Amino acid sequence: MSDGFYEAVGGHAAFDRIVRRFYEGIKTDDILRPMYPDDLDGAVWRLTAFLEQYWGGPTSYSDERGHPRLRARHAAFRIDDVARDRWLHHMTTAVDAESLSPLHRETLMDYLDRAAHAMVNTMGDVDRGDRTAL
């Protein structure tokens, strides 16, 4: 991805705001919250760094964690269509609050939608009690 998108949407400050808003929604989500550690600071850093790197910003994510391996890193979680849709709801709310240009919003949401669909690894009803945190 060209470094133009990262700068055009506001760089680190914009991605940090989006991710922090996203996690505000996660904090009260009964489906998604159990998938995250008690302390969300690490999750905030990882998602911010990942998105920044993907969109042309600093390579801090790979420098510290190596290849993203998104599916492998999320394989421990039973992610169904309900979890995916909840994740997309919180992310859409966070992105929309940033007031990006229509083209930048559509570009970012298209990626996030595809990524969320790619994480689904469970079909049908999920016994929500079986979920464990990373």
Looking at the chain, the whole-number percentage of residues with pLDDT higher than 70 is 83
Work out the average pLDDT over 80-99: 96
pLDDT higher than 90, residue 88 = yes
Return the CATH number of the domain spanning residue range 3-130. 1.10.490.10
pTM higher than 0.85: no
pLDDT higher than 80, residue 71 = no
How does residue 75 score in pLDDT terms, banded at 50, 70 and 90?
A: low
What are the sequence ranges of the domains in the chain?
Answer: 3-130
pLDDT higher than 70, residue 97 = yes
pLDDT higher than 60, residue 125 = no
Rounded Cα gap, residues 15 and 108, in angstroms: 11
Give the CA distances from residue 14 to residues 10, 33, 45, 118, 134, in Å, rounded to whole numbers and listed in that order: 5, 23, 14, 25, 26
pLDDT higher than 50, residue 62 = yes
pLDDT higher than 90, residue 70 = no
